[in-house]
Amino acid sequence: MPVFSLLFALSALSALRSCEGAANDGLRALPCPDPADIFPCVCTTGSENHMTMDCSDLASEDELARVFSSNLPFTKFHLLKIEENQNLRVLREGDLGPASFSVIIINGGVLEEVQYGAFAGSYSTAEVIDLSRNALTEFPFYELPLFTSLSTVAVDNNVISSIPVLQSASLKDLNFGNNIDTIFPETFANLPLLNYVILFDNNLSNVPKGAIAFSSTDNGYVDLRSNIIGSIEVDAITGLNAGTLYLNGNSLSVLEEDVFRPILEGGATVYLNENPLQCGCDVAWLVLNPALLALTPEATCNDGEALEDLDPSIFEDLC
């Protein structure tokens, strides 16, 4: 073969291999978009082709909008992550473009508002929305029924003062810790799959009738620790079954039988330590019933004496 022909053949073969390599490099990059198109966000792919979009280094809301208006070969992401970001204050409608997510984690930042429709692309896909540890004051809770797969919402450690009556056919776990000072009747009563309600470290002073109602067959879990709760209305919390109610670290001075007997008779364990219980005749019904008393472990009077150590004869004779 002439030298020129040989050189041409080798050159053509080298070019072909180069093209194949470029194509293979492109295939290896899929399903993520071109890194240059989405900078400063970073896309990675895990098992089952699950794409994670990490946008923790965003400089502004406009930059977020630019990223998700770029060329996205695939728009079905598994996880959106924006952590410890000090620039994103408003999550605007349309900023996430056509993208959908199963898990949304935006925490540890300065986010103040989520606009209605900001997560519209994830109405059918979102399973977890975690917006904890921000400066959130506004969230479109009335939009929750549109999320058909959403099971967990966490907005703890924000500055949300109150929440409306929630409605959702899919929600199971809710975390509103370190936020609110008020809950209303039926706030957590229209959630048929509800399992966990976390309301610790708020400024709640009262739990109104019908506020929390579990309707599934699972055992409920309610965390009301470290509030200033001094009163709980009859039927404020129903359907716990053999679940758990944390009320330690509150301001309860009496244990009203009409309030607590149905909860304990349903099999729930109730934690009452660190309350200023007077331990007068208001606890006679409990002290004289060993089976129910056993469901209040660590409960103490305001002088530190455990309820389980109280002399039943005092209550038999004087109450």
For position 274, which CATH number holds? Answer: 3.80.10.10
If you average pLDDT over every residue of the chain, what do you get? 91
pTM of the model: 0.88
Spatial CB neighbours of 294, under 8 Å, sequence gap ≥ 6: 308
Both 180 and 155 in a single domain? Answer: no
- For residue 11, is pLDDT > 90? no
What pLDDT, on a 0 to 100 scale, did the predictor assign at position 55?
98
What pLDDT, on a 0 to 100 scale, did the predictor assign at position 218?
80
7 assigned to some structural domain: no
Both 190 and 292 in a single domain? Answer: yes
10 assigned to some structural domain: no
Phi, psi of 232 (to 5 degrees): -130, 125
Question: What is the distance between the terminal CA atoms of the chain, rounded to a whole angstrom?
Answer: 115
- For residue 313, is pLDDT > 80? yes
Both 188 and 254 in a single domain? Answer: yes
Contact 133, 108 (CB under 8 A): yes
- For residue 20, is pLDDT > 90? no
Residue range(s) defining the domain that contains residue 110: 16-160
What pLDDT, on a 0 to 100 scale, did the predictor assign at position 17?
34
95-104 pLDDT tens trace: 999 999 999 9
197-227 pLDDT tens trace: 999 999 999 999 999 999 977 899 999 999 9
Counting the structural domains of the chain, the total is 2
Spatial CB neighbours of 51, under 8 Å, sequence gap ≥ 6: 31, 32, 43, 44, 45, 74, 76, 77, 78, 79
Mean pLDDT of 28-57: 92
- Report the percentage of the chain scoring pLDDT > 90: 87
Both 187 and 318 in a single domain? Answer: yes
The confidence band for 235, taking pLDDT boundaries of 50, 70 and 90, is: very high
6 assigned to some structural domain: no
Give the SS3 label for residue 175.
strand
Helix (H) / strand (E) element for 13: namely helix 3-29
287-300 pLDDT tens trace: 999 999 999 999 99
Both 156 and 180 in a single domain? Answer: no
Q: Which residue in 156, 160, 163 sits closest to 189, CA to CA? A: 163
144-203 pLDDT tens trace: 999 999 999 999 999 998 899 999 999 999 999 999 999 999 999 999 999 999 999 999
What pLDDT, on a 0 to 100 scale, did the predictor assign at position 121?
97
Chain centroid offset of residue 79 CA: 15
Both 82 and 126 in a single domain? Answer: yes
